[in-house]
Amino acid sequence: MKAVPQTKSPLYLKVAHQIEGQIRKGALRVGDRVPSIRGLKRQQGVSISTVLQAYFWLENQGWIEPRPQSGFYVRVPFAQLIPEPDFQASRSVPTEIGVGDLLHEVMNSIGDQSKVPLGAAAAHPMLYPNRKLNRIIHKIMREDAAHSARYEIATGVLPLRRQIARRSIDFGCNFSPQEIVVTCGGMEALNLGLRAVARPGDVIAIESPTYFAMLQIIESLGMKAIEIPTHPRKGMDLDALESAIRKHRVRACISMTNCHNPLGFILPDSFKKDLVAVLTKHDVPLIEDDIYGDTAFDGIRPKAAKSFDTAGLVLLCSSFSKVLAPGLRVGWIHAGRYFDAVARLKFINTMASSSLPQFAIAEFVQTGGYDRHLRALRASLCRHVQLYGQAIAKYLPDGTKISRPAGGLVLWVELPECIDGVKLYRQALAQNISIVPGQIFSASGRFQNHIRISCGHPWTDSIERAFATLGRLCAR
């Protein structure tokens, strides 16, 4: 596998970045009217469609706002509404997972449809291409009545593996279909990857905070976690990681370099290259969780750390669940030198993934529907994040800080130290509001005054009332 160059930025992004640059430099200030659509068309020599895309992107990013019958104006930048969470350095030592009971409690409540959905990191069903996928499924059922009357090989149906391999170029890789194992969602991919490289009692390096489901996997396999301090914008402290590898014989590392959950960052290619170099130096496998990589707000698919892997040490895990159809449970893993181990574990674990969803997704991707869907989904999620962030700035108490996601659908919220995230979670639940307390994103129960907010649902009056209620609960 070798890296391939990134594709060029779309024209509308070049136009948008020019306007953004003028705002950053002060040439356009808050309240100023930006050039009209037709004026910018003449100035840049582009189409009206390109200008509209550029202005839509700038609006989603919080740089401009439309005013009826008047045009677009520079708004107060999102970054000035409220500060970012602080970087919290900590001593890295192996630990047993200490939030299992709380995690179980949260997971039992997170999917309750009667609550205002600020908890589960999932988009509203209307944002998924349900009708299109259903038409494809009905077509497959008509044309191949025996579609599920046979066993598929453990690694998955070839049409889907071929489409995943073709798309690997977008994130800097060049996979073969024969190198991919299709899984039952991203969770199975992560589980198989960890089982392939580590054993009970081994120490696993994780980001802090990290996706809480990874803590469940580590705990279930009898392993220990060592938390590496992670900056809300710059990622894992690589010096602390290397020190932990030397002192504690770390067996594997887990990282989410693109559209992190819960921090939302996309790390620069230079960091990804350095991360892989540090781990390769010590022969430590990297399990890369790239579940949200396709949701980057700027529309450019970021490279995976896997693209810098020359030793087969990176196990890249991804899924269609968060962006396409959670209920179809289709994920995948490219396991590098651990392919044989993962394929065997897949067969032992579930023998094979359901074939009908694989065929349906393969056709949806192959016919171009997936790319069209992604463009709309990214724009919607970006807009939601801006609206939810503005509500947090409006209703939650002074001293609150929130992340600046570059993709995904969650916000990481640091509350004043006097506020207990678990108590707020329980009080909110009593008011029919679902949020997630920050403690479950840490093996040792850190982030006690943090919460995670999901921005997957379109803005409604009930969501605004929920934020107002959260503000009152905090004020108590």
Q: Which of the listed residues 331, 354, 369 is the one where a domain comes to its end?
A: 369
Are residues 61 and 297 in contact, defined by beta-carbon separation less than 8 angstroms?
yes
Q: Tokens 């191949």 label which residue?
A: 144
- Any domain includes 91: no
What is the domain count for the chain? Answer: 3
**One domain, residues 309 and 249:** yes
**One domain, residues 165 and 309:** yes
**One domain, residues 379 and 363:** no
**One domain, residues 213 and 337:** yes
**One domain, residues 377 and 356:** no
> Smallest Cα–Cα separation from 245: which of 214, 206, 191, 273?
206
- Any domain includes 6: no
- Any domain includes 1: no
Are residues 297 and 381 in contact, defined by beta-carbon separation less than 8 angstroms?
yes
What is the β-pairing status of strands 401-402 and 410-414?
antiparallel
pLDDT at residue 80, as a whole number: 64
pLDDT at residue 4, as a whole number: 45
State which residues form the domain around 57.
11-78
pTM: 0.85
Low-confidence ranges of the chain (pLDDT < 50): 1-7
Are residues 449 and 232 in contact, defined by beta-carbon separation less than 8 angstroms?
no
pLDDT at residue 8, as a whole number: 59
What's the rounded Cα separation, in Å, for the pair 435 and 118? 5
- DSSP for 361-379 reads HHHHHHTTHHHHHHHHHHH
